[in-house]
C-alpha cells in the first residue's frame, strides 16, 4: 500500500516557509526519534540548503525510542555539515531549555543584543513542533493535539530580548518515495486517517516488531514463546484480538479493533522503547531501491 497525504494547506504553508526562511538564522527541524529519516521532510532540507541555513536536528520523543538506535542516529546526523543533532522529549523542560544555546552555536554572528537570534521550527505533522514551541516560551501559545495538521499558520514570538522563534505548520511532501516510509509515518500518527487503512498499517507494524522487538510484544500481550514462534504479522493481530477478548457479534475475532490496539499501544509507548528504523536499515533500503531502479 502506497500512502500519500498532501492536503491543500501544505502547499501554501511550504510557500510561506520559503519566504520566512530568508529572514531566519537557524532551522530547528523536529523529527520523530523512532523514525528519524522517514520523518525528515526533504523539502525542509531543500529550503534550508538553498538559503544556507544551519540546522538543529531535534530527535523528539526520544523517551519512546530505542536508546542505542537513537545514539546511532545522533552519530549519523552529527557527521553532516551544518547540522547538530540532539535527542530529547519536548515535554521535559530541562531538555528544551538547552535549545537556544545550541542554536546560538550554529549562528555565532547573531550573538549581540542588537542582532537577536531568529529561530524557525519546522517538521512533519504531529511530531511535537507546537509542544516544543510552547515549552520554549513557557506558556501555551501554539495549539497542540494528538492528530496531524493541527497547526495551520505560522506564529512568531519573542522568547526573550535576544531570541525570536517561529512555529510553522506540519509539512509533508507531495510524494512519499518509499512505501515503508509512508507506513512508518502512518503507524506513528503523522498521516491523516483518511489516507490510510489502519489494518494494513498495523500488519506492517506487527511484522516489523516481530523481527526486531518480539520480547516486547510477548510481554505486552502475554504471549508464550510457542505463540511467538508461529505467529506472522496477520497472526499477531489475531493473537492480540484473542488475548484482549476482542470479538464481533457471533464470536469472530475483531481484527480491526486489535489493529487499533496495537497502533495505539505503539504510539503511547506502551510496548516499550522502539525504533522503527536504524541507519543500517535505512542504508539497506536505499541500496535496494538503487538496484531496483538500475534493473528497471
Q: Which three cell numbers stand for residue 129?
A: 513542533
Cα(230)–Cα(215) distance, rounded to whole angstroms? 14
Whether residues 203 and 163 fall in one domain: no
- Per-residue DSSP letters for 226-245? HHHHH--HHHHHHHHHHHTT
Q: Are residues 101 and 243 both part of a single domain?
A: no
Identify the pLDDT of residue 105. Answer: 93
Is 20 in the same domain as 161?
yes
Is 172 within a domain?
no
Q: Give me the chain's average pLDDT, please.
A: 88
233 assigned to some structural domain: yes
Tens digits of residue pLDDT in 214-234: 999 999 999 876 777 767 999
Say what the pLDDT of residue 116 is.
87
Q: Are residues 121 and 230 in the same domain?
A: no
Contact 181, 38 (CB under 8 A): yes
Whether residue 253 contacts residue 238, with contact meaning beta carbons closer than 8 Å, is answered with yes
Judgement on whether residues 103 and 245 belong to the same structural domain of the protein: no
Domain that holds residue 20: 8-167
Q: State residue 1's pLDDT score.
A: 54
Q: Which residues of the chain have pLDDT under 50?
A: 145-150
Task: For residue 217, tell me if it sits in a domain.
Answer: yes
Shared domain check, 118 and 32: yes
Per-residue pLDDT tens for 9-19?
667 777 888 88
**Are 209 and 66 part of one and the same domain?**
no
On whether residue 113 sits in a domain, the answer given is: yes
146, 167, 188: which is the final residue of a domain? Answer: 167
Instruction: Please check whether residues 146 and 264 belong to one and the same domain.
Output: no
277 falls within a domain:
yes
In this structure, the answer to whether residues 24 and 134 fall within a common structural domain is yes
Domain boundary among 128, 147, 167: 167
Sign of CA dihedral 76, 262, 96, 19: positive
Based on the structure, what is the number of domains in the chain?
Answer: 2
Which CATH number characterizes residue 128's domain?
3.40.50.300
Do both 157 and 43 map to the same domain?
Answer: yes
Same domain, 113 and 260: no
Rounded to an integer, what distance in angstroms lies between the CA atom of residue 94 and that of residue 69? 22
CATH number at residue 259: 1.10.1580.10
Is 222 inside a domain boundary?
yes
Amino acid at each position: 500500500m502506497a500512502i500519500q497525504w498532501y492536503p491543500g494547506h501544505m502547499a501554501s504553508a511550504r510557500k510561506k516557509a520559503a519566504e520566512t526562511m530568508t529572514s531566519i538564522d537557524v532551522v530547528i527541524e523536529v523529527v520523530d526519534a523512532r523514525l528519524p529519516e522517514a520523518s525528515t521532510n526533504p523539502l525542509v532540507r531543500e529550503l534550508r540548503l538553498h538559503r544556507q541555513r544551519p540546522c538543529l536536528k531535534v530527535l523528539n520523543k526520544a523517551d519512546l525510542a530505542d536508546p542505542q538506535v537513537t545514539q546511532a542516529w545522533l552519530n549519523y546526523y552529527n557527521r553532516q555539515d551544518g547540522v547538530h543533532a540532539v535527542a530529547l522529549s519536548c515535554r521535559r523542560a530541562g531538555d528544551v531549555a538547552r535549545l537556544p544555546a545550541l542554536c546560538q552555536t550554529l549562528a555565532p554572528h547573531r550573538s549581540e543584543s542588537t542582532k537577536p537570534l531568529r529561530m524557525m521550527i519546522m517538521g512533519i505533522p504531529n511530531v511535537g513542533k507546537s509542544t516544543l514551541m510552547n515549552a520554549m516560551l513557557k506558556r501555551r501559545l501554539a495549539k497542540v493535539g494528538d492528530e496531524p495538521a493541527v497547526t495551520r499558520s505560522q506564529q512568531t514570538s519573542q522568547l526573550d530580548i535576544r531570541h525570536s522563534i517561529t512555529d510553522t505548520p506540519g509539512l509533508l511532501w507531495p510524494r512519499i518515495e518509499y512505501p515503508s516510509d509512508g507506513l512508518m509515518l502512518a503507524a506513528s500518527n503523522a498521516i491523516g486517517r483518511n489516507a490510510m487503512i489502519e489494518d494494513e498499517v498495523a500488519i506492517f507494524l506487527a511484522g516489523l516488531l516481530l523481527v526486531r522487538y518480539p520480547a516486547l510484544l510477548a510481554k505486552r500481550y502475554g504471549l508464550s514463546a510457542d505463540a511467538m514462534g508461529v505467529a506472522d504479522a496477520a497472526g499477531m493481530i489475531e493473537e492480540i484480538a484473542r488475548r484482549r477478548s476482542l470479538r464481533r457479534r457471533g464470536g469472530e475475532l475483531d481484527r480491526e479493533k486489535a489493529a487499533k490496539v496495537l497502533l495505539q499501544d505503539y504510539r503511547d509507548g506502551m510496548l516499550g522503547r522502539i525504533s522503527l528504523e536504524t541507519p543500517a536499515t535505512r542504508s539497506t533500503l536505499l541500496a535496494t531501491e538503487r538496484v531496483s531502479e538500475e534493473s528497471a
